[in-house]
Structure 1
Amino acid sequence: MRKRIQTNKPAKEAWKLIRGFPAQFSQGLAAGRASNVRKIPHEVTHVIVCGMGGSALAASIFEGLRDTGYGIKVPIAIHRDYGLPHFPQKARSLVLVISYSGNTEEALSAYDEARKRQLHIVAIASGGKLAERARRDGVPLAQIPTGIPPRFATGVQFGAFAMVLTKLGLAPTSLPRQIAALERQLNIETLIVEGKKLARLVDGRIPMILGSSRMEAVAYSWKTNINENAKIPAFMHAFPELNHNEVNIYDNLSNRQRAYHDILTAFILQDPREHTRIKKRMRITTTFIKRAHIPFRVIKAKGETELVRIFYMYVLGLAFSSALAERLMLDAIAVNIIEDLKKKLAH
């Protein structure tokens, strides 16, 4: 019989990791700076980032910043699968393989395929098979600190990812300095308090996380962190796309249909500099949610820069999901089903 994951000290380790989150940025930058990454002699037309789960999230956040002055100078394609995606033969691609543990089989598959195609590769890992293969093959490696669940290690992975791109000449040289400044710009204790307040709004309902394209990566992280930390269902969607499909669930047509409204609660993530039409869409959509009698909360990102606001929201989501685990008397760190799945796949 499976051992229950209930604990008398719910979320204790999660709070420790969250409080240590700001220090991760400098650790990740240091790992990237210490790596043997060098500028590629030819022009790179696009970057393919291969990773799964929390390891791919750093790249997703970075891609969301691409048009803000922080981001990469060429397009990023994020590949969450085995092998590599199809791209033109003459494309000058950089394949950046990220696996926090270094043992993610999809990332290792991508690495092997990139080697087979003789593509330029950079690896980011804390160790494992990916680090071993990179050293064996002479592939540039940024080795990040070990011992953190990947979803709690986004700061270190983001820092390493940004420094690698900067060293390759693909990101602004000012970016590492701006990332290092995040350590003193995030008020973690305030975010923990806010996260605990938000967790009380769930009260047995299924959270729906709604964001804009600016916040899409962060909204997705809220959903997946709820799944991993609190072990409950959660869903996410982004404006304006959700106004072309999902918004229709807020109609009130029958008692049977309205019963589904009774198990939902909505959290709308908003950046103060959203497009004016997105802001209007959010306002109108909240009227539909209210009319459906679904509890909701609009959460506005705080911070002077987009980079600060992105990580304000990310850490708030970590605190929110950890507080949900605490309310459910669960160990936020445990991922028993994921570990069971890995064991079964290995046989």
Structure 2
Amino acid sequence: MKKLIEDFSKQLNVALDIAAKAQLTKAAAPIHNIVIAGLGGSGIGGNLVSSFTYDNIAVPISTTKSYDIPGFVNANTLFIACSFSGNTEETTSAVGKAIAKGAKIVCITSGGKLGEIAKTNGLDVILIPGESNSPRASIGYGIVQLLTVFNFFGLTPSNSWDSIKATAALLDAEEANIIETAKVLAGKMKGRLPILYSDARFEGVVIRTQQQINENSKQLCHVNVFPEMNHNELVGWVYPENVLQNSLTVMVTTGFDNERVAIRMDICRNIFREKGSEVVDLPAKGADVIQQSFYLIHLLDWVSFFLAEINGVDPFPVEVINFLKGELSKR
């Protein structure tokens, strides 16, 4: 896992090479909506590209993380199936239903059953490397391909390749500082419940962090976003007192936070401290939403790795998930 995190900027550049060679075909009907299917490390890319393209996407985007698909899926839907292994049963089930609805389908995978379905049904497919055997550590491959698909179908005004290149350069330049910051933050999370908050636009980033702390650090983590948390969760900052007093609240901030959200965050910092939580700020770096998002993702990936070391666990295996899949295969 350490090597995979270290090589993240290289992964982005390899992903660009794959994108440049992608062979896609035109849709038979105009695209009126996008549905992205995927779970876990494969599925979080849908949340992130929704954020990246929020200001300029031409049609609405939905994500599905289930066996089923929305009722509106039809011939005017661009249905993108993301499965690193190609064997995610929920995603292959959803693809079968999208085929029956006549959607325009693109598969992003390293192969497996999804690759076979694509070949059998003549679907567009972009193959990504599967050697890492870790979907969550291969997130860059999927996100770059998703952005490439959007651009091919004319759903965004321009491709994001220049921003991805700049992101890789930013991460390389900041790597030493990123690692130092991550070590400090991981140390503060030892024996505590990490709570991360961000502006709603960066929900994908904090959800990704929750997943990484769950899988790499084998630890629970809680996340939510502003302003929604101000309308419900904030009231819950009373009990259980022992949990709140043994928590670390990380306020993820960016250059793209809504100005009213920034004020809300400022007010809430004091509320969290009054309830006994230590509060730290984590500001993003980068020139645009993509760069700032990937900066945070990379830094927080390192946090999950160092927290795994502190917890005395191997960040790579996910034994309980493998057990669950094994039990499912018997039924």
Q: 1:246 aligns with which of 233, 255, 258?
A: 233
Residue of structure 1 in register with 2:7 after alignment:
20
- Does the aligned pair in 1 maintain the 2:286–2:292 contact within 8 Å? yes
Deviations 1:44-89 (A, max 9, x none): 01110010011111121110122344xx322110000002111176
Following superposition, the deviation at residue 286 of structure 1 comes to: 0.4
Whole-angstrom CA distance in 2 between matches of 1:326 and 1:205: 15
Residue of structure 2 in register with 1:285 after alignment:
268
Q: 1:74 aligns with which of 59, 62, 67?
A: 59
Q: 2:135 aligns with which of 150, 155, 166?
A: 150
Q: 1:310 aligns with which of 293, 297, 304?
A: 293
Whole-angstrom CA distance in 1 between matches of 2:136 and 2:279: 25
Residue of structure 2 in register with 1:3 after alignment:
none
Residue of structure 1 in register with 2:34 after alignment:
47
Higher relative contact order (CA 8 A, sep 6+): 1
Matched, 1:212 2:218: no
Counterpart of 2:97, as a letter, is E
SS of 1:230 mapped into structure 2: coil
Counterpart of 1:33, as a letter, is A
Whole-angstrom CA distance in 1 between matches of 2:17 and 2:146: 11
Following superposition, the deviation at residue 323 of structure 1 comes to: 0.7
Residues 333, 88 of structure 1: alpha-carbon distance in 2 compared, 3 angstrom cutoff: closer
Whole-angstrom CA distance in 2 between matches of 1:337 and 1:325: 16
Counterpart of 1:40, as a letter, is A
Whole-angstrom CA distance in 1 between matches of 2:18 and 2:95: 20
Following superposition, the deviation at residue 41 of structure 1 comes to: 4.1
Following superposition, the deviation at residue 183 of structure 1 comes to: 1.5
Q: 2:153 aligns with which of 168, 173, 181?
A: 168
Q: 2:312 aligns with which of 316, 320, 329?
A: 329
Deviates more, 1:330-339 or 1:158-167: 158-167
Residue of structure 1 in register with 2:91 after alignment:
107
The runs of 5 or more residues in structure 2 that have no matched partner are none
SS of 2:108 mapped into structure 1: strand
SS of 2:158 mapped into structure 1: coil
How many aligned positions are there? 327
Counterpart of 1:16, as a letter, is K
- Does the aligned pair in 2 maintain the 1:199–1:321 contact within 8 Å? yes
Q: How high is the TM-score relative to the length of structure 2?
A: 0.94
Whole-angstrom CA distance in 2 between matches of 1:243 and 1:219: 17
Deviations 1:141-195 (A, max 9, x none): 0000112311111111111111122222223334223223322121233222211
Q: 1:231 aligns with which of 181, 198, 218?
A: 218
Q: Identity over the aligned pairs, expressed in percent?
A: 29
Deviations 1:227-270 (A, max 9, x none): 0011111111110011111112334xxxx842232232211111
Residue of structure 2 in register with 1:5 after alignment:
none
Whole-angstrom CA distance in 2 between matches of 1:30 and 1:142: 12
Residue of structure 1 in register with 2:326 after alignment:
343
- Does the aligned pair in 1 maintain the 2:167–2:295 contact within 8 Å? no
Deviates more, 1:28-37 or 1:292-301: 28-37
SS of 2:317 mapped into structure 1: coil
The runs of 5 or more residues in structure 1 that have no matched partner are 1-13
